[in-house]
Amino acid sequence: MMKNKVIVVGGGMVGAATAVKLAKQGCQVKVIEHRVINPVAVLASAKVDIRVSAINRFSEHLLDELGAMPILKAHRHAAYQQLEAFERSGDNLLFDCHDINTTHLGHLIENNLIQASIWQQFAEHNIEVIEITQPLSKIEETDQYVTLHYGEQQFSADLVVAADGGQSLLRKKAGIGVTGWQYGQHCMGVLIKLDAPQQVKTWQQFKPSGPVAFLPMQAPYANLICYHDAKQLKQWQQLSAVELKQQILKHFPPLAGDFDVIDHAVFPLARQHANSYSHGRIVLVGDAAHTINPLAGQGVNLGFQDVVALAKILHNCNDVGAKIQLKHYEQTRRKANLLMMSMMDACYFGFSNQVAPLKWARSQFLKMANDSGFLKNQLLKYAISGQLN
């Protein structure tokens, strides 16, 4: 039987995972990428990436299956055991791994290490990486295949997976629209070197100016997240490391120890959802299909859930690009992604509002949720696995 041919456009974390997952199922896979990486060099580098993801247990299982997790555990990573959300002292919602009889809730790992660990599997599964310097110029589709044109180069497959991010050119060329909006704030990520033992709790505080969060990476590093209006963060972006540290001391709760600012970056916040997850023999995964408020770090976890759902539906299919299967994938994932997006928005807007009755209601909600026992544990299981048990 002829192997199904698949092209994955975009070799980021989700695109690379899609490529390996489908190759393991017997597909002949090519990855088209504008920026080809050397995974060995990335994994060996001492430079710490400011971009970090909170990998939940579902994603951890996928990475383990793909052969990436053992590599990551040999490099920089940090398991976290607790997750706390609070507005003021005493009104906190604390999730602890021991409440659901597990050793940890997830891992905080640099994005480039996750990507490189998956790319390390490409050779084993005969995945070809094609470096393209020109933009996608045309898509040509028939009932049997789809062809991508990059200038004079063209590539055909039974299925094309769009994993080229929130600004996906492939999605636009396929005529798939999106709905969404820009939030009124930007987000700053700050990489710090913390003079403290390994931290095992990630926390988030809701403030009138926007949430702030602490993500404990492998000691001595950590990542701070600060939401604020764009004008303020652009001003902070121009500060020296010493000046930025003073702003952090003013706007964040006390950290576990003294720290130095290593790097920082600012990016806008946006919510975006594709109107369809497929068109012909083109299917969307990850940020190409949905971008979410990063409030709880669920973006890449949702993308990995897309990968697993798509692979499960396409497993043992004679034609991986058949419309009925791609629509089945959309039905499976669209509702789940929309639910998580809506939950994050409700949390974001609900805690950003400073109306007195709502502030009182928030306080009561956090106290009640923290004391709820079974309900709290069910929410925790959903957060770390994407499923309610």
> Angle 323-352/356-370 helices, nearest 10 degrees?
120
Q: Tell me which residue has tokens 């209601």.
A: 361
**Mean of pLDDT values over 26-46:** 97
Residue type, 16: A
Residue 27 lies in a domain: yes
Q: Are 384 and 101 in contact (CB under 8 A)?
A: no
Residue with the bigger pLDDT between 162 and 316: it is 162
**Mean of pLDDT values over 16-44:** 97
Pairing status of strand 5-9 against strand 290-291: unpaired
Residue 237 lies in a domain: no
Among residues 277, 288, 272, which one has the least CA distance to residue 345? 272
Reported confidence tier of residue 331, pLDDT bands at 50, 70, 90: very high
pLDDT in tens, 148-184: 999 999 999 999 999 999 999 999 999 999 998 777 7
Q: Are 116 and 42 in contact (CB under 8 A)?
A: yes
Mean pLDDT across the chain: 89
pLDDT at 388 > cutoff 50: no
CA distance 29 to 72: 24
Residue 39 lies in a domain: yes
Residue with the bigger pLDDT between 59 and 100: it is 59
Residue with the bigger pLDDT between 229 and 260: it is 260
CA distance 252 to 380: 25
pLDDT at 86 (0 to 100): 84
Residue 149 lies in a domain: yes
Q: Are 265 and 50 in contact (CB under 8 A)?
A: yes
Residue 300 lies in a domain: yes
- CATH of residue 151's domain is 3.50.50.60
Residue with the bigger pLDDT between 161 and 205: it is 161
Other C-beta atoms closer than 10 Å to the C-beta of 324 total 9
Q: What is residue 123's three-state secondary structure?
A: coil
**Mean of pLDDT values over 333-354:** 73
pLDDT at 100 (0 to 100): 84
**Mean of pLDDT values over 48-55:** 95
Residue 330 lies in a domain: yes
pLDDT in tens, 359-378: 545 555 555 555 565 555 66
CA distance 8 to 18: 8
The residue range of the domain holding 116 is: 5-77+108-180+271-348
pLDDT at 87 (0 to 100): 80
pLDDT at 93 (0 to 100): 81
pLDDT at 354 > cutoff 50: yes
> Percentage of the chain with pLDDT > 70?
87
pLDDT at 89 > cutoff 70: no
Among the ranges given (78-82, 204-208, 284-288, 344-348), the one the predictor scored with the smallest mean pLDDT: 344-348
Query: How many structural domains comprise the chain?
Result: 1
Q: Are 107 and 78 in contact (CB under 8 A)?
A: yes
Work out whether the CA dihedral 166, 182, 387, 384 comes out positive or negative.
positive
**Mean of pLDDT values over 42-66:** 96
pLDDT in tens, 216-252: 999 999 999 999 998 999 999 999 999 999 999 999 9
pLDDT at 346 (0 to 100): 65
**Mean of pLDDT values over 29-55:** 96
Among residues 272, 320, 243, 234, which one has the least CA distance to residue 23? 320
Q: Which value, to the nearest 10 degrees, does the dihedral of the CA atoms of residues 144, 34, 43, 71 take?
A: -10
Q: What are phi and psi of 50, to 5 degrees?
A: -70, -25
Which region holds residue 380: left if phi is over 0, alpha if psi is between -120 and 50, else beta?
Answer: alpha
pLDDT at 389 (0 to 100): 46
pLDDT in tens, 4-29: 999 999 999 999 999 999 999 999 99
**Mean of pLDDT values over 130-140:** 96
In the sheet that holds 153-157, the strands lie side by side as: 138-141, 146-150, 153-157
Q: Tell me which residue has tokens 């692979």.
A: 311
Residue 174 lies in a domain: yes
CA distance 304 to 57: 11
Span between the terminal Cα atoms of the chain, in Å: 39
Pairing status of strand 282-284 against strand 278-279: antiparallel
Peptide bond into 220 cis (omega under 30): yes
Residue 90 lies in a domain: no
CA distance 20 to 66: 7
pLDDT at 161 (0 to 100): 98
